[in-house]
Structure 1
Amino acid sequence: MKAVAIRTFGRPEGLAVIDLPSPAPAGGQVLITTEAIGVGGVDAVILSGALADYGFEEGHILGSEVAGTVSAVGEGVDTSWLGRRVWAFTGMGGGYVEQAVVPVEAIHPLPADLSAADAVTLGSSGMVAHFALAHARFAPGESVLVRGAAGSLGIMTVQLAARGGAGAVAVTTSSAERGARLRELGATHVLDRAGAGGEDAPAGYDVIIDIVAGADLPSFFAKLNPNGRMVAIGVVGGLPPADFGGEMLAAFRKSMSFATFSADTVSEADRRAVRAEQFAAAVRGELRTVVHQLLPLEQAVLAHRKMDAGEVFGRIVLTP
Structure 2
Amino acid sequence: MERNFDQTMIQGLVDSRGAALREVHKLVHKGAVIPSGLHLGGQCMLRMIDSLMFFHRMKLRNHTHFRVTDLHNDITNLMMTATLSLYDLHLQGAYERTLTDTDPSVLIYAPSFGEVEFLLRNVVYTMEGRYRINDSRLTIELVTSTVTVHEVLMTYVTQAIESASISVGPENMGDFLRRLKNDLDIWMKEYFNDYLIYVNLARIDNIKELEKYDKEKTIALQEYMDASIALIKARVQKLNAEIINIPNFTLKSIHGLQIRLFDGTLHGLDSMYRRSVPTGVKYLQLRKVDAIVGFSALK
TM-score, normalization by structure 1: 0.20
Higher-Rg member (1/2): 2
Instruction: Give the number of the structure whose residues are more often strand, by fraction.
Output: 2
Return the structure number with greater helix share. Answer: 1
